[in-house]
Chains A and B, each alone.
Chain A
Amino acid sequence: MCFKTLPVEFDAAGNAALRGGIPNPYDVTVTMPDIGMDENERAARIERLVARNGHIKDLNMDPVTRIAGALAVHVTADLDKGAYLDSHSQATLFRGYEVILMGRDPRDAIFVSSRACGVCGGVHAHCAAYAIEQAMGIQPPPLGTVVRNLTEAAEMGYDNPLHLYLLAGPDYSESVIKSSNPELWPKAEKWKCPSEHIHGFHTMADLMTALNPLTGSLYREGLDFTRLSREMVVILTGKYPHPQNVVPGGVSTTLTLQTLNEYHSRLGKIFDYAQRMLAVWDDIPTFFYEADERYQFVGYRPTSHIDPGYWDDPYSYDATYENCNAWGEKRWSTPGVVLDGELVTTRLTDLNIGLEEFIEHSYYEESKTSRYANDPLGNPISPYHPWNKRTLPKPGGRDWKEKYTWATAPRWDRQVVEAGCYSRLLMTAKAQKMPASDFISATGSSMRFLIPKGEVGEREVEWQVPERWNAFERNRGRAYHYLFSQLVGLESLFEAYKLFQQGERRVATLNPTELEKAIPQDERRSVGWWGAGRGWLTHHLVMDKGKITNYQIVTPSTINASPRDPWGQPGPYEEAVMNTPIIEDLSDPASFTSIDMLRAIRSFDPCMPCTTHAHTGNGEVTREVNTCSCGGD
């Protein structure tokens, strides 16, 4: 392992140290990534083009998301050449959870941070519990970890179809195609679906009609299956979307065989649906690529991803930072970083020490500190690391050259990386470190799944690492991730039955009274590494005298919606838009919808509620919110 940018080197045992002889090694003017075009060059190019081309158009798309409406994207489009010259992603609301949590009992983080999102509150609750139990040194019993895995598999079962059919699916529906890409419709009517024998749609036009919002059969079926998974979550957590059962050191679920059987009865219905889902999201890219090769570049960006892994091995996870590399690599979904298609590391400590969050273009005051120079193992960390960062909101006007968003710019090794549930497939496939399974295997370049028999027979499917990460591959990856997560649910269910058979019933280490007494009074810091429906999720905690003194949440949409960093590198949304060709019919520029850009952005599943939060700076709530407050998870 070595960093590409940060001046950090490793000894043979994997311990990191700063390279000597570099004054201010983390200074942004000292340690800089290799970048292509910088911001000034990009601006100058646009000015030159504008001077000689009347077809260049500035557009604000606000909101871009079909949910929460807290993401705006500003693009400069050259309608003559069919290209996006520039793009800025703007999270329009402030997330205040980190501020709300200051000075509170750390246990509150489970319930408060859960409210960061109305889709995936459970992931925040769990992530907070992981952070707290690491700080307190409480290892959950195996059955507690298994219940968490079951819950979080079910939560993905809710999240993935929700995005594919309710949020992104409409972009590929008959109603949108006929209005934005009418030239595709006759082709769709003639194009025979290769997977008709699985999903039942004869032509792509039939499939697109089924994607129509509210009326389409796939849309309605997606709603039904989100309900089924929600029920699975509720069986274990008592309620949805904000679980009541998550505690440091396990869960408080009263687990019986009936609980497991009820979960099982619902899970069993999912696998046939998963087969149909894969067939739908395999056929859609095939059709679009055949219709126009340029679709391969819609939302394209290099294969640079990050993910902290997901779903623990109940016998390896010990809640310590010291052993995190060992238990991290035994997760069902392997942690890792992939840069330009190459797997760089699978060690959680590397993920942690390479992480920095920049605010040059965000509505915050400079927040770095030098409170901590190292992680608990002595590895160096940056002043921009979440343990050193504070949240100091500073609202202001929008200026693309200065500050323009409430999202920060998280970077790993000062490289732009993307987060997504599909990143789990990528890391796990490349690392080949996942636990042995009858249903899931990693080949180095693909993931193979055996879908259990339901009403239809069992079937083997394979997800290949895509040649180009684009909008279509993100959606395809999300469909395969749905299957991955449900198979992890199945494996976890078998593990729960096994533990039950052995007489194991304990799901938490401490009872509430013991937990109360166990809250440390000295200073502790920790990190919860977990995942959301959109990928990466970390909660960095610092506590002292039994209270939270710093809490930093990095969500996948914070990463993906990030603005330019100090070196002018665009964030993943921005980069994906600038790589997107404008394919839609431009015969009438006045009716330009920017559907290609919207497909690119939405393929990331931008849930802005956790990325940002309702700004109440002037005592005025921008938007009435309840469970969903923030801006992206």
Chain B
Amino acid sequence: MTVLVGGVSELFQSDLDLGRLAVERLQDEGVDERFLVEELHYGAVAVAQRLEDVRPDTLVLISAVRRGRPPGTVERRRIDPPQLTPAQLQAAVGDAVTGYVHLDLIVNVATGLGALPPRTVAVEVEPEQTTSGEGLSSSALAGLELALGLVRAELGRAALLCLADDLRPLVEGDRLEPSTPLEVLRQLLGELVYLDREGRYGRAFALRDRLRISLTSDLSSEGMDHRDWALWWGLIEELDRLEAVEALPPTA
């Protein structure tokens, strides 16, 4: 599993420099070495080429982006490849090669060049000050803290979501006989789609409990092999781990 966290910045443009500052913070914290944390302010085509090299399973982009929200607003968005016409994609490449830097441009160009990772999440902060200068406004500074929390959460659940991605094709179709645990697992995987889209766990922990009980008390599906068992229990254990982490107060 490869996860790339990228800060997208307009350098020294006050709040628009938030992506770079976020990367500095994460690097100072010493994130797990499985996660790559990099500045991606150097042009969308070059970023797309970097993505082609790294081929991350998950890309988390953090940036200050002007979208007309109240200053300091923090928003997490699960990004789907945009449906752009060839002319729009070409225009995005044109903008990118002259040095325009924007989170959307990275998404558009990476999509056009087939380099957008299957799971891409944007964590955006609405900037307040966008003129030349160093440092963040108070609203952006507060937003940065919240955004960093969201990025850490994304990193925390990346393994879970990758595991879910691995499991989905194994529980589709009729390879496995119908059973209660299988039904619960399918519901849980559906709930993890919700987690991926919305960033909230919903009924995931409750379904995990039902799956655990069901696996120990009900008949499991015919056709399950060692890999199925390992992945099913791995999913439960990963949710156990995350529940413990999520239960910790933010300062812990």
- Residues of A at the B interface (CB closer than 8 Å) are 65-69, 117-119, 121, 162, 166-167, 170, 175, 213-215, 223, 226-227, 230, 239-241, 607, 609, 621, 624-628
Contacts and interface: CB of A to CB of B under 8 A. Distances in A.
B113 A223 contact: yes
A624 B15 CA distance: 13
A118 B113 CA distance: 20
Contacts of B13: 626
Interface of B: 10-11, 13, 16, 41-43, 45-46, 49, 66, 86, 89-91, 93-95, 97-102, 112-113, 130
Contact of A67 (B42, B95, B102, B112): B95
B243 to A, nearest CB: 41
A626 B86 contact: no
Nearest to A220: B113
Nearest to B45: A223
A68 B113 contact: no
Contacts of B90: 66, 170, 213-214
Contacts of A239: 42
Nearest to B89: A214
B99 A227 contact: no
B87 to A, nearest CB: 8
Nearest to B93: A166
Contact of A628 (B11, B46, B100): B100
Nearest to A607: B98
A626 B100 contact: yes
Nearest to A621: B130
Given A66-B91, A213-B89, A214-B90, A227 B101 contact: no
B65 to A, nearest CB: 10
A223 B16 CA distance: 28
Contacts of B66: 624
A68 B95 contact: yes
Given A67-B97, A117-B99, A230-B46, 9 more contacts: A67-B98, A69-B95, A118-B97, A118-B100, A166-B97, A167-B94, A213-B89, A625-B100, A626-B100
A124 to B, nearest CB: 12
A209 to B, nearest CB: 13
A188 B113 CA distance: 27
Contacts of A214: 86, 89-90, 93, 112-113
Given A214-B112, A227-B46, A227-B49, A67 B94 contact: yes
B100 A68 contact: yes
B101 A627 contact: yes
A627 B10 CA distance: 8
- In order of increasing CB-CB distance, the 7 nearest A-B pairs are A118-B99, A628-B99, A627-B99, A66-B94, A626-B101, A626-B10, A213-B90
A226 B48 CA distance: 13
A252 B100 CA distance: 27
A241 B10 CA distance: 14
Nearest to A167: B94
A42 B211 CA distance: 83
A121 B86 CA distance: 28
Contacts of A119: 97-99
A241 B46 CA distance: 11
Contacts, number: 82
B235 to A, nearest CB: 38
A213 B99 contact: no
Nearest to A119: B98
Contacts of B89: 213-214
A624 B105 CA distance: 12
B131 to A, nearest CB: 9
A174 B42 CA distance: 31
B93 A609 contact: no
Contacts of B11: 626
Nearest to B114: A214
A59 to B, nearest CB: 18
A107 to B, nearest CB: 17
A626 B41 contact: yes
A310 to B, nearest CB: 21
Contacts of A167: 94, 97
A1 to B, nearest CB: 38
A239 B11 CA distance: 14
B188 to A, nearest CB: 39
A223 to B, nearest CB: 7
A241 B99 contact: yes
Contacts of B46: 227, 230, 240
A504 B11 CA distance: 37
Given A66-B91, A118-B43, A213-B90, A624 B102 contact: yes
A166 B94 contact: yes
A254 B88 CA distance: 42
A179 B197 CA distance: 40
B86 A117 contact: no
B142 to A, nearest CB: 23
A175 B86 contact: yes
A119 B102 CA distance: 16
16 contacts: A65-B94, A67-B95, A68-B95, A117-B98, A166-B93, A167-B94, A167-B97, A213-B90, A214-B86, A223-B113, A227-B49, A230-B46, A241-B99, A624-B66, A626-B11, A627-B100
Contacts of A175: 86
B204 to A, nearest CB: 38
A215 B49 CA distance: 15
Nearest to A158: B97
A626 B12 CA distance: 9
A175 B86 CA distance: 10
B93 A213 contact: yes
Nearest to A633: B98
Point out which of A119, A213, A226, A239 has the most chain B C-beta atoms below 10 A from its C-beta: A213
B215 to A, nearest CB: 47
Contacts of B113: 214, 223
B218 to A, nearest CB: 51
A609 B86 contact: no
A609 B16 CA distance: 20
A69 B96 CA distance: 12
B250 to A, nearest CB: 32
Contacts of B86: 175, 213-215
Given A118-B43, A214-B90, A227-B49, A628 B102 contact: no
A69 B98 CA distance: 10
Which of A170, A214, A230 has its CB near the most chain B CB atoms (within 10 A)? A214
A626 B42 CA distance: 10
A355 B95 CA distance: 32
Nearest to B86: A213
Contacts of A117: 98-99
A166 B90 CA distance: 8
Contacts of A215: 86
Contacts of B16: 626
A188 B31 CA distance: 56
Nearest to A214: B112
B102 A609 contact: no
Nearest to B132: A100
A495 to B, nearest CB: 29
A68 B112 CA distance: 18
A496 to B, nearest CB: 26
Nearest to A616: B131
Contacts of B130: 621
A121 B99 CA distance: 10
Nearest to A627: B99
A625 B13 CA distance: 10
Contacts of B49: 223, 227
Contacts of A65: 94
Contacts of B102: 624
